[in-house]
Amino acid sequence: MALGAAVLCLSVVYTLMSSNRHNVPVSSPQRPEKQSKDPLKIDPLNDLDWRAVEPAKYRPFKPIYHITMALKADTPSELITVDTDYLDRVSLRRQIISQHGALVHGCLPSGVEAVRELYHFLLHDHLPARFPTMFQLRDQGRQFENLVTGQTFPTDVPDDPAAALRILSETVEEDMFLLVGEPEGHRAVAFQCCFPSGFDPSSKVGKLLKEIHAPVPSYDKIGPSMERFFGKIEVGKNVKRTNWGIQTDGNLFHYERHDEPTSDAPLAAEAETDMSQAYARIELQTLSRLPKTRAVLFSFKTYLYSLRQLKEEGLGPQVADAIEGLKTGNAPGMWNYKGAPQWAEPVCRYLRA
Ligand code: HEM
């Protein structure tokens, strides 16, 4: 009896985890033909038509906010995601890099080797193997061709690490930080981040995890376990987590702090009526270890879901509860940190209407 219940439980958990991998539609021929047993082997999506892949739907709204690591196992194959937004997103990233330059990408001397490894790994190994209908190697592996954008890049790493980071930024939608372990903790040594959610990415390079998270309320509750966990990440044993926030515009580039406005005044009446411009912003974050330099890669893809869409799904009250639950959990400072005083009142009213 107990064994039966355990098996049932496990199969439910497995089903839930599998159905959460939305990057590939469940019944589509784009699914990998068979799962690999080699943890570093990439399962190819041989017939993928990226234009037909709907963006994944993450709905991590809980009634009370607790700051936790909440990591789940992930596979190396799922490091990079693509969907119907791919071309628009990478085109936007190219514009953001040309406009904002060193604000959105950079590398310390101690990060050069990790950037070189990441560049070659993604352009030469990962992307052409995982997405053969989008990326192909040419000239005996010396050139990487992006069939979607028409761009070609050498698979040999450019001498300038910033150039390598720019190419990565406009090839994948994921923002990335590379960290190296030091006696004091893990330090960010390189980044490309075109879609920051209320922080200046360039201000984080050179900093330790605890310094990076200095503005995050109650970070001390998870900081020490994060450091321990980062030290133990194994090659091929990727993990993932999600976060969420609310924003009252559709911009992906949010460099200014979301808790910056000092007034507690709620949104102006006109903004209140334009909820078509309000979004839940969710990041799918992954952590993995590069095998040669052993740097930790923190990579995240940003999703925007309109509040109207969430309401249509019947999730309005659940999202409103989650917003109000920001102040009732183990990190009540999240209410201010996430900028809730500016928008929570009209947003919750709209979500519950
Ligand atoms: C287990 C891993 C991690 C956890 C649990 C975590 C947790 C958090 C939390 C709770 C926040 C507050 C905003 C939110 O709700 O997301 C945050 C913000 C942030 N995290 Fe992390 N984080 C992790 C890894 C990293 C890594 C590796 C970086 C690398 C640079 C990073 C960079 C940031 C930045 C830049 C912010 C915004 C800070 C600001 O407001 O200035 N995080 N993180």
Q: Are 279 and 55 in contact (CB under 8 A)?
A: no
**Quick check: 348 pLDDT over 60?**
yes
Strand 175-182 vs strand 152-154: parallel, antiparallel, or unpaired?
Answer: unpaired
CA distances from 199 to 91, 112, 128, 204, 306 (A): 22, 24, 32, 9, 22
| This model's pTM is above 0.75 | yes
Residues 6+ positions from 278 with CB-CB distance below 8 Å: 246, 247, 248, 306, 307, 343, 347, 350
Chain segment 147-191, per-residue pLDDT in tens: 999 999 999 999 999 999 999 999 999 999 999 999 999 999 999
- Three-state DSSP state, 251: coil
Atom of ligand 1 nearest to the CA of 213: 38
**Poorest-confidence range of 34-38, 79-83, 148-152, 237-241?**
34-38
**Quick check: 12 pLDDT over 50?**
no
State if residue 70 touches ligand 1 by the CB under 6 angstroms criterion. no
Sign of torsion over alpha carbons 25, 30, 35, 38: negative
- Three-state DSSP state, 313: coil
Q: Are 82 and 171 in contact (CB under 8 A)?
A: no
Q: Which of 97, 130, 350 is nearest to 201 (CA)?
A: 97
- What is the per-residue pLDDT for 27? 31
**Quick check: 70 pLDDT over 50?**
yes
Chain segment 287-307, per-residue pLDDT in tens: 999 999 999 999 999 999 999
CA distance 119 to 167: 9
Torsion of CA 158, 159, 163, 165, to 10 degrees: 80
**Quick check: 36 pLDDT over 70?**
no
State which of 65, 204, 216 you would mutate to test the pocket of ligand 1, scoring each by most atoms of that ligand within 8 A of its C-beta.
216
Q: Are 52 and 209 in contact (CB under 8 A)?
A: no
Chain segment 253-282, per-residue pLDDT in tens: 998 876 665 455 566 554 555 798 999 999
CA distances from 214 to 96, 220, 242 (A): 26, 9, 20
- What is the per-residue pLDDT for 273? 53
Q: Which of 181, 180, 183, 227 is nearest to 191 (CA)?
A: 180
How much distance in Å is there from the Cα of 243 to the middle of ligand 1? 9
**Quick check: 224 pLDDT over 90?**
yes
State if residue 222 touches ligand 1 by the CB under 6 angstroms criterion. yes
pLDDT tier at 329, thresholds 50, 70, 90: very high
Q: Which of 106, 73, 104, 65 is nearest to 319 (CA)?
A: 65
CA distance 282 to 174: 13
State if residue 336 touches ligand 1 by the CB under 6 angstroms criterion. no
Q: Are 124 and 153 in contact (CB under 8 A)?
A: no
